[in-house]
């Protein structure tokens, strides 16, 4: 009859096998990112962890993780660039509406109409308009 391994040994062996990859896996963390970028980064995190768990120790395992990290970084950069473009488009709309004499409530309504996914609030909009006004007076 085979001896049953004491509890915890299998867990400890798994931790030891995973240890060489912990630094690399930390680059796949995503919870610190803004919500929109978390959705881009999370699948890469899951895949990286899955590769570490499922593949045997081999030099190519780290290469696979490095390539996956490059792909994740590129995907996040695309999302960030898109966000910057969208932010500039929203700012231009606000400035145009402000120049036309619209008040903050009217501007917010137009922004929400053209950019429904925008999370801009009336408070943020008013702060932005105050900054614009202060810069114009300077």
- Position 111 scores a pLDDT of 94
Distance, in Å, from the CA atom of 74 to the CA atom of 69, rounded to the nearest integer, reads: 9
Output phi, psi for 110, to 5 deg.
-70, -40
Q: Is the dihedral of CA 8, 14, 15, 16 positive or negative?
A: positive
Distance, in Å, from the CA atom of 120 to the CA atom of 108, rounded to the nearest integer, reads: 8
Instruction: Classify residue 8 as left (phi > 0), alpha (psi -120 to 50) or beta.
Output: left
pLDDT tens, position by position, 32-90: 998 889 999 999 999 999 999 999 989 999 999 999 999 999 999 999 998 889 999 99
Instruction: Give the residue extent of every domain in the chain.
Output: 18-137
pLDDT tens, position by position, 107-116: 999 999 999 9
- Structure pTM? 0.65
- Position 36 scores a pLDDT of 85
DSSP sequence for 28-91: T--TTS-HHHHHHHHHHHHHHHHHHHHSPS-HHHHHHHHHHHHHHHHHHHHHHHHHHHHHHHHH
Distance, in Å, from the CA atom of 102 to the CA atom of 119, rounded to the nearest integer, reads: 20
């Amino acid at each position: 009859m085979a001896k049953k391994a004491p509890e915890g040994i299998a867990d400890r062996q798994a931790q030891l096998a995973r240890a060489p990859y912990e630094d690399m896996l930390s680059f796949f963390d995503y919870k610190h990112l803004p919500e929109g970028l978390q959705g881009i980064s999370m699948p890469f995190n899951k895949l990286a962890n899955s590769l570490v768990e499922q593949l045997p120790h081999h030099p190519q395992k780290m290469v696979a993780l490095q390539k996956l990290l490059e792909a994740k970084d590129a995907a996040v950069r695309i999302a960030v660039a898109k966000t910057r473009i969208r932010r500039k488009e929203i700012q231009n709309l606000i400035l145009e509406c402000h120049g036309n004499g619209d008040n903050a409530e009217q501007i917010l309504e137009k922004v929400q109409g053209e950019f429904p996914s925008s999370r801009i609030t009336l408070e943020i909009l008013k702060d932005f308009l105050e900054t614009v006004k202060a810069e114009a007076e300077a």
